[in-house]
Structure 1
Amino acid sequence: MPQSLPTPKLHCACCGRPFTRPSGRGPAPLYCSADCRTQIRIRQRVWSSRPGYAASGPTNHRTANHRDTRFETACAS
């Protein structure tokens, strides 16, 4: 008889509460409930509308291709 592996506890990316995965199919969920998914969508919409916080706006100069050198020291290689 095959042994089933214990379901690992996941932690919600919104509220941090531990939860169990409802299904073994597909990718693991990030949020414990529909309320948390809604909350994250609202936060992303608000954050992206603020100047300087948009992921792809003209005010954001720190991208994957450009390092932020403000905090580098002279001896960093």
Structure 2
Amino acid sequence: MAFEMYGDVILSRDVSESGLHAGDVGTVVERHVVPGVSEDGYSVQFFDMTGNTVAVVTLPPSALRLPTPT
């Protein structure tokens, strides 16, 4: 699945080394395409409630999902 640049995504698993938890919401800031590799990678920026950056991590699409409308 391809995610849009600057779109919101939800983390589907914990990334404990970055202090992130499944369900955290982030913003896609870069897409990494590697020829010959089946999955792209995405750099995702996560913020706290005041807008400060908590972490920027590179993740496979399998670790992300789109938000669902409520």
Q: TM-score, normalised by structure 2?
A: 0.20
Radius of gyration: which is bigger?
1
- Structure that is richer in helix per residue: 1
Highest relative contact order (Cα 8 Å, sep 6+), 1 or 2? 2
TM-score (structure 1 length as normaliser): 0.19
